[in-house]
């Protein structure tokens, strides 16, 4: 990733209002001319079947998830284009927290910016939290934008 002397900011997005809030906050408060945004999106396959699925069902699930991911990526790419913010887009299927940290480390990011759903302690303990994962596993600064 050739960015010259620019700081790389990983902007982690999904299809939530919390992610939208984080992107708007980044554009309004954080972005500086010496920043280059690496827009990241990790789509998780939302189904964990108890029994094996037929091949055509799996194919439909993957295609649906890929189309939804593309729509998310296009929405945020348009926002950055409209704001005239230089960016690169990277995405893959997988666990979002692991992917965000992996990408940030690969590009020696200066910061990760992301939203949070603001779950309570009990719910976060049971379900896990992408922002908690990133806070505890990232090599760089993490800005978690809350409501």
Residue with tokens 């919390």: 18
pLDDT, greater one: 116 or 29: 29
pLDDT, greater one: 47 or 59: 59
pLDDT of residue 147: 80
Going from the C-alpha of 9 to that of each of 53, 95, 123, 140, the distances in angstroms are 39, 20, 29, 10
In a domain, residue 67? The reply is: yes
pLDDT, greater one: 56 or 98: 98
State which residues form the domain around 81. Answer: 10-45+53-145
CATH number where 133 lies: 3.40.50.620
In a domain, residue 85? The reply is: yes
In a domain, residue 2? The reply is: no
Q: Which residues pair with 113 in a beta bridge?
A: 11, 143
Predicted TM-score (pTM) of this structure = 0.83
Best CA proximity match to 129, nearest among 104, 94, 91, 95: 95
Task: Assess whether pLDDT exceeds 90 at residue 142.
Answer: yes
In a domain, residue 3? The reply is: no
Average pLDDT over residues 20-43: 94
pLDDT band at 1 (very low <50, low <70, confident <90, very high): low
Q: How many helices (H) and strands (E) does the chain have?
A: 5, 5
Average pLDDT over residues 38-45: 87
Question: Longest C-alpha distance within the chain, in Å?
Answer: 51
Average pLDDT over residues 32-39: 94
Best CA proximity match to 115, nearest among 103, 101, 132, 94: 132
- Domains of the chain: total: 1
Task: Assess whether pLDDT exceeds 80 at residue 39.
Answer: yes
pLDDT of residue 116: 85
Encode pLDDT of 54-83 as tens digits: 788 778 888 888 898 899 999 999 999 999
The secondary structure of residue 76, as a DSSP letter, is: H
Residue with tokens 């189904």: 47
Percent of the chain clearing pLDDT 70 (strictly above)? 85
In a domain, residue 5? The reply is: no
pLDDT of residue 126: 43
HSE toward the beta carbon, residue 14, CA cutoff 13 A:
20
In a domain, residue 4? The reply is: no
pLDDT, greater one: 120 or 7: 7
Best CA proximity match to 15, nearest among 85, 82, 78, 76: 76
């Amino acid at each position: 990733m050739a960015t010259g002397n620019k700081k790389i900011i990983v902007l982690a997005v999904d299809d939530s209002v919390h992610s939208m809030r984080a992107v708007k906050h980044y554009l309004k408060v954080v972005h500086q001319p010496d920043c280059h945004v690496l827009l990241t999106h990790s789509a998780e396959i939302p189904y964990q079947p108890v029994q094996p699925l037929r091949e055509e069902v799996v194919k439909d699930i993957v295609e649906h998830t890929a189309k939804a991911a593309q729509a998310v990526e296009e929405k945020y790419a348009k926002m950055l284009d409209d704001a005239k913010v230089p960016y690169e887009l990277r995405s893959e299927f997988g666990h979002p927290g692991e992917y965000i940290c992996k990408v940030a480390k690969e590009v020696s990011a200066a910061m990760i910016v992301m939203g949070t759903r603001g779950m309570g302690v009990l719910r976060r303990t049971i379900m896990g939290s992408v922002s908690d994962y990133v806070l505890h596993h990232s090599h760089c600064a993490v800005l978690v934008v809350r409501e």
